[in-house]
Amino acid sequence: MADVITLTYDISPDDFTRAGEASSDVKSKLKQMGVPPEAIRKVSIALYEGEINMVIHAEGGRITVEISPQRIYMVLADKGPGIPDIEKAMQAGWSTAPDEVRSLGFGAGMGLPNMKKYSDEMNIETEIGVGTTVTMSVNIA
Amino acid sequence: MDKFYHSVRLDASLCRGCINCIKRCPTQAIRVRNGKAQINSKFCIDCGECIRICPHHAKTATYDSIDVLKQYAYTVALPAPSLYSQFNNLEDTNIVLNALKLMGFDDVVEVSAAAEIVSEATRQYLAEHKEQMPVISTACPSVVRLIRVRFPNLIPHLLPLNPPVEVAACMAAEKAMQETGLPREKIGVVFISPCPSKVTYSKAPLGTEKSQVDRVLAIKDVYPRLLSCMKTVGRGDVEEIGVSGKIGISWGSSGGEASGLFSDSYLAADGIENVIRVLEDLEDQKFTNLQFVELNACNGGCVGGVLTVENPYVAEVKLKRLRKYMPVARSHMEAEHEAYVPWTTGVQFEPVFRLGDTMMESFSRLEQVERLCRRLPGLDCGSCGAPTCKALAEDIVRGEASEKDCIYWMRENLHKLSREVTQLAQDMAESGKEKSGKLPVLMDYVRQISSEITYLDSRVQEPGSEEEQEETT
C-alpha cells in the first residue's frame, strides 16, 4: 500500500463553470476516506479559493493534492503573472480582480486570506512573469 | 424504529433489471444484481426519483390504504397544502375540508395552519440565531436525510423546528383527546401526503423521538373519492373550517416557506440534483449574507411529490390562484403550541459513504478505487449494475462486486484466454505428440471463439476508439 494518494487536476483558464471541480472531487474523496468533517471543510474552502484564483489571475494551472492519513498537502502551480506584493495580496479585501470578474461575485479580496485562514500551513513562491506556486496543508489528526 | 427505515421499495416481480433507476438515483443507492434492482438502505433518502423513472413500475412507495380509518374510534385528517393544488377552479379550501369529513374523517386540521405557526417560529429563530446562518429548512425529510449522510458540516445549520405536518399532528391529537375524552391510541391522526418521504418521517422521524402522525395516505389514492365528495359538498352550505392564509397555503410549492419569513435574503432550490448542488456550495461557503435556505427534493416543491396527481407546474398556478384573495395569515402561535414546534432530539451524522470502518482501511480502499478506476473503461455504461465505473470500483473494494461484472473487462479476459488456447493447440500440433486426430477439431473451435469475440468487438465499441471503428465499418 502506498503512503499517499496523489491526485492531479489541470485547471483551465477563464472557465468559471468548471472552477470548483477539483475541490469538489477532493471533497468527495475525503468524505469516503472518513476524514473528520472539520478538516474536509478547511480543505474544500481553501482549495476552492485557490482554484478560483488560478482561473481569475493565472490563466489556469495545475493542482496536485497528496492525501495521506495524517494530512492533505496541496500544491497549486501556475505560470501566471506572479504576485508583485505578497503582503498586500494577503490583506483581507485587497483585490486586483477586473470588473467582469467582480460582477460574477468573485474578486472580493478574500482569496489568499481565506486560504491562509483555512489551512494549517501555507507557503507562496512567486516570481513576476514566471508564475506562482502556493502550497497548503491541512492536518487530519 | 430502524434509523434507515424506508418507504421506497422494490417490487422484484416487476423489475426487469434495466439500468434506468441506477442512473437516476441521486445518492447512487441502487445496484442491479442477479437481474434485479437492490436499494441500499443506508444510501437511500426516499426522494422517489426511482419511482418516477422506472418504466416497469417496479419501484413503489409504501403508504396506508383508506381502510385504516376503520381501525380508530376517531380520525383526524391532516391535508397537506399541496392537496389544494390538485383541483380545477377551487376557490375555497373549505370545500376540500368538508369533503374530507364527508369521506369519513371526524375532524380536519390543516397542515397549512400549522405551517403558519412554524413560519412564525422560524422568524423568531432567525432573529435570535444570527450565528447559525444560513439556516437550512428541515421541512423536506429527504433533504434532512441527505444532509445527515452527506453534509456533516451543515448539520449545525439545520432549522431545529418540527415540520408543519408534525405540529399539525400534535395539535390534532390534543384537540381530539380533549373533545372526545378518548385515549390517544383510539385516535387516528392521518396525513394526506404528496410523497413517500413523509411516510418515512412518520415511522422514523428526525428531530423528534416519535411522530404524532399515525397513518399516511397518498394524495393520489384519496383524490378520486375526495372529488366525488367535493361535488356533494359544493351543492350545500359550506361549513367554515379553514384557518390558514396565504403563508400556509404557499408552503405547498417551492419558495413558499421562504416567502413566509418576510426576508429577501433567502435562497429556494427544488429538485434533488439542484438541492445537492446548493448544499455542495453551502459547504464550501460560497454564499455570503444568506439568512435562509429552503430546499425541496421534488421539482416545484411538494406539489411535485411522486404521490400527487397534477403536473407540478400546473399545480403551482392553481395554488397561486387559490391564495390570491386570502389574508396573509390566519393562524398564530399560541401558548399551547409552543411545545409542539422545537426539535426534541438532534440529527447525528451517519458516515455511510465511508469506504471502510477505520480511516486507515478507508484510505487503503480509496487508493484501490483510484487504481481500479484507471483500469475500468470509464464509459459508465451501467451494464455491471453500478451507475458508474467509479461506483463499481467502490463496490469491488467493499467486497460487493467483482471486476468480472464489467463486460469490457470480461471481453479482455476472453481475448487473453483465446490467445492462450490457440498457443497451446499450436504447441501441441508442432510437438507432434497428439495422435488422436482431435486436434484439428479443437483448433476449429478456437477459431470460432476468436471470430465471435471479434464480432462482439465490432458491436461493443472499444472505449475511446470511435474514429477507428468508423474507419473499419
- Residues of A within 8 A of B366 (CB-CB) are 5, 29, 32-33, 67
CB contact (8 A) between residue A5 and residue B370: yes
Look at the domain B354-405 and name its fold.
3-methyladenine DNA Glycosylase II; Chain A, domain 3 (1.10.15)
- Residues of B within 8 A of A35 (CB-CB) are 359
Query: Shortest CB distance from A29 goes to which of B150, B280, B366?
Result: B366
Q: Which of A93, A96, A77 is nearest to A85 (CA)?
A: A96
Model ipTM value: 0.83
| Residue ranges per structural domain of chain B | 1-62, 66-340, 354-405, 407-472
Chain A residue nearest residue B288, CA to CA: A105
> Is B6 within 8 Å of B46 (Cβ atoms)?
yes
Residue B87 identity (one-letter amino acid): F
pLDDT band of residue B1 (cuts 50, 70, 90) is low
> Is B81 within 8 Å of B50 (Cβ atoms)?
no
Q: Is domain A5-139 annotated with CATH 3.40.50.970?
A: no
Q: Name the interface residues of B facing A (CB cutoff 8 Å).
A: 150, 152-153, 280, 283-286, 349, 351, 353-356, 358-360, 362-364, 366-367, 369-370, 394
> Is B350 within 8 Å of B372 (Cβ atoms)?
no
Mean pLDDT of chain B, nearest integer: 92
Task: Note the pLDDT tens digit of each residue in B219-249.
Answer: 999 999 999 999 999 777 889 999 999 999 9
**Measured distance CA(B424)–CA(B416) in Å, rounded:** 12
Q: Where are the alpha helices (DSSP H) in B155-253?
A: 164-180, 197-203, 219-235, 246-250
Query: Shortest CB distance from B362 goes to which of A20, A24, A33?
Result: A33
Is A84 part of the contact surface with chain B (CB cutoff 8 Å)?
Answer: no
A125 burial class (0-12, 13-18, 19+ CB within 10 angstroms)? Answer: middle
> Is B411 within 8 Å of B456 (Cβ atoms)?
yes
| Residue ranges per structural domain of chain A | 5-139
Look at the domain B1-62 and name its fold.
Alpha-Beta Plaits (3.30.70)
Is A31 part of the contact surface with chain B (CB cutoff 8 Å)?
Answer: yes
Chain A closest CA to B375's CA: distance in Å?
16
- Residues of B within 8 A of A20 (CB-CB) are 284
CB proximity list for B182: less than 8 A, separation 6 or greater: B73, B74, B176
Query: What's the length of chain A?
Result: 141
Above pLDDT 70, what percent of chain B? 96
Q: Residue B460 has what pLDDT? A: 64
Query: Shortest CB distance from A32 goes to which of B286, B360, B366?
Result: B366
Q: How many CB pairs under 8 A join A and B?
A: 61
DSSP secondary structure string, A98-136?
-HHHHTTT--SS-HHHHHHHHSSEEEEEEETTTEEEEEE
**Measured distance CA(A69)–CA(A64) in Å, rounded:** 17
Average pLDDT over residues A82-101: 83
H or E stretch covering B32? strand B30-33
Tell me whether strands B107-108 and B74-79 are parallel, antiparallel or unpaired: parallel
Average pLDDT over residues B5-11: 94
Chain A closest CA to B354's CA: distance in Å?
4
